[in-house]
Structure 1
């Protein structure tokens, strides 16, 4: 009798200006960053054992980002999803710090101009928020449409990246 190989998963929780962030690693590589109350957040029991060891560099880069010292993350990621979702997530990391793109623009970049809704669905399933900056995607008119971490967090993250966070009330 053969048994299926087991996948090693670990997690830890770190503080941020936007509330606690749960970091998840699969085989030692970052595979999840989830906010409290996040839509599509997997059940806690899937996060693996508590262990902060795989997250040293992730935590260092997040701290630098929140301090305004880092505008682009450089971390290995293990993003599990469909080929289309992974294509959307690859486009997200190309959106520069402090800028936004519309769902329609992302669909165009992917060569699927009629797929803005599908882009929105894939964006909402992004397993590594902030680092894969799904908060930088807005509606065609520039409106803040949808965000798994809540529109209030999306607004604060965008204001932080634009240097106007003091104009946005703190909600956490």
Structure 2
């Protein structure tokens, strides 16, 4: 088990935190968020502390405390932008899969991607880095998702579909 640093303490970050806890892989989770400094600091999220702004992820003292980090920000451009910085800093940048999700053993998940509860990813699907496969969505065989794609809750994509970088597939699509 290791410690996980989440960049972003909003709603998406809280869902990622609960997914990470459900995997049983992490002892401790902490958040970074640019809203944490100054007046109106952010309180703990789900019992996990908000310990500094996003830039603190690159601070060697913070880096020594956390073996893994993931970008928990809904904005696709920011997710994709932060991933290489985290890897270069030496963090493991895992793909997280909720235990109730179904992911084919032949599917490929890019670093920093998340697969939420009840999602289904079928045979030989390829998911880029920083993708969000949200609650109860499905991605059928041989589909290809670019980096930073967000497939919203309840959206269903057929086999061999190709989705470009930073695309957003809406709820129930």
TM-score, scaled relative to structure 2: 0.30
Structure (1/2) with the larger strand percentage: 2
TM-score, scaled relative to structure 1: 0.30
Larger RCO (CA under 8 A, 6+ residues apart): 1
Largest Rg, 1 or 2: 1
Structure (1/2) with the larger helix percentage: 1
